[in-house]
């Protein structure tokens, strides 16, 4: 398997964390796509992923799977023992709902803020910006942080009592928020305590160096 990624990117981080949680790190090669040079917007890359985003998983049979949720589903199902996307219909439903909510209310909102209300990836890549829209999405992301703080006051993990893809999506949101210097409000104690715990997980702690190890050995 090959993954097109950007080693410090918040969305690629989601797949790197999933790979490590599944013990699949040594099964993939990483190919770096330079976002700041706009390599993800070329016709060649769009033939792999029409949306022109990272990460993209390429299977050995040439199939391309884009979208972190879809990639995580694939990786989690490979060994027949899903640990990230739920085992029962109820678990699967709740995990998908919370992961999508983490995209809508936090991660994607931070991303829109970055691309519209900051220099983003630079003038050559950010050909349309709407600062007002970006600032609204920044406020939405802060509200999302407060929402997940409320969730984590009541339960240990984002989708219930065990670690799942939904936690990974919120982690992606907070990684992106850190990159764009959008701090979690100081009174979000439960979210901050959960994030400290999450950063202690080896899959989260070692996510950036993971590719270096793999690249060096392939
Ligand atoms: N919905 C997609 C997913 O879940 O995979 C979003 C992917 C996405 O936005 N990826 C970022 C990207 O390609 C990568 S990173 O910013 O996290 O490094 N951004 C570039 C762009 O121009 O949108």
Query: What is 7-63 written as a DSSP string?
Result: TT-HHHHHHHHHHHHTT-GGG-EEEE--GGGTGGGSHHHHHH-TT--S-EEE-TTS-
Q: Are 3 and 18 in contact (CB under 8 A)?
A: no
Rounded average pLDDT over 121-132: 96
Domain locations in the chain?
2-83+204-215, 89-201
CA-proximal residue: ligand 1, atom 19 (nearest):
53
Q: What atom in ligand 1 is closest to the CA of residue 9?
A: 18
In this predicted structure, the answer to whether residue 140 has a pLDDT above a threshold of 60 is yes
For CA atoms 111, 112, 113, 116, the dihedral sign is positive
Rounded average pLDDT over 8-15: 97
Q: Are 3 and 57 in contact (CB under 8 A)?
A: yes
In this predicted structure, the answer to whether residue 214 has a pLDDT above a threshold of 60 is no
Which H or E element spans position 2?
strand 2-5
Q: In angstroms, what is the C-alpha Rg of the chain?
A: 17
In this predicted structure, the answer to whether residue 215 has a pLDDT above a threshold of 70 is no
Helix 165-179 to helix 189-199 angle, to the nearest 10 degrees?
Answer: 100
pLDDT given for residue 217 in this prediction: 34
Cα distance from N-terminal residue to C-terminal residue, the chain: 12
Place of tokens 């700041």: 36
How many angstroms is it from 154 CA to the middle of ligand 1? 31
In this predicted structure, the answer to whether residue 218 has a pLDDT above a threshold of 60 is no
How many angstroms is it from 11 CA to the middle of ligand 1? 6
Q: What atom in ligand 1 is closest to the CA of residue 13?
A: 17
Whole-model pTM: value is: 0.96
Rounded average pLDDT over 148-160: 98
Nearest-angstrom CA–CA distance, 116 and 210? 30
Whole-number Cα distances in Å, 25 to 13, 181, 212: 13, 29, 11
In this predicted structure, the answer to whether residue 212 has a pLDDT above a threshold of 80 is no
The two structure tokens encoding residue 108:
């994607």
| For ligand 1, mutation pick of 14, 31, 54 (most atoms within 8 Å of CB) | 54
In this predicted structure, the answer to whether residue 105 has a pLDDT above a threshold of 70 is yes
Q: Are 117 and 138 in contact (CB under 8 A)?
A: yes
Q: Which CATH number fits domain 89-201: 1.20.1050.10, 3.40.190.10, 1.10.3720.10, 3.40.50.720?
A: 1.20.1050.10
pLDDT given for residue 210 in this prediction: 79
The chain-wide mean pLDDT, for the chain, equals 95
What are 161-207's pLDDT values in tens digits?
999 999 999 999 999 999 999 999 999 999 999 999 999 999 999 99
Which CATH fold topology does 2-83+204-215 show?
Answer: Glutaredoxin (3.40.30)
pLDDT given for residue 211 in this prediction: 60
| Nearby residues of 64 by Cβ (< 8 Å), 6 or more positions away | 48, 49, 56, 57, 58
Least confident segment among 53-57, 94-98, 105-109, 213-217: 213-217
In this predicted structure, the answer to whether residue 213 has a pLDDT above a threshold of 80 is no
What are 58-96's pLDDT values in tens digits?
999 999 999 999 999 999 999 999 999 999 999 999 999
């Amino acid at each position: 398997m090959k993954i097109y990624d950007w080693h410090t990117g918040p969305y690629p981080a989601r797949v790197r964390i999933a790979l490590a949680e599944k013990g699949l790190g040594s099964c993939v090669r990483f190919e770096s796509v330079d976002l700041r040079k706009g390599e993800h917007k070329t016709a060649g890359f769009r033939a792999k992923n029409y949306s022109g985003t990272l990460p993209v998983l390429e299977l050995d049979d040439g199939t391309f799977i884009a979208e972190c949720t879809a990639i995580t589903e694939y990786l989690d199902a490979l060994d027949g023992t899903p640990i990230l996307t739920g085992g029962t219909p109820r678990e699967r439903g709740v995990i998908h709902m919370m992961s999508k909510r983490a995209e809508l209310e936090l991660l994607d909102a931070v991303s829109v803020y970055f691309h519209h209300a900051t220099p983003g990836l630079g003038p050559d890549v950010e050909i349309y910006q709407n600062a007002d829209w970006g600032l609204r999405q920044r406020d939405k992301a802060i509200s999302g942080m407060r929402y997940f703080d409320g969730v984590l006051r009541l339960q240990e993990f984002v989708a219930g009592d065990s670690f799942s893809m939904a936690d990974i999506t919120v982690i992606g949101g907070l990684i992106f928020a850190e990159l764009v210097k959008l701090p979690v409000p100081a009174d979000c104690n439960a979210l901050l305590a959960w994030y400290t715990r999450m950063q202690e997980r080896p899959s989260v702690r070692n996510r950036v160096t993971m590719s270096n190890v793999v690249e060096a050995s392939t």
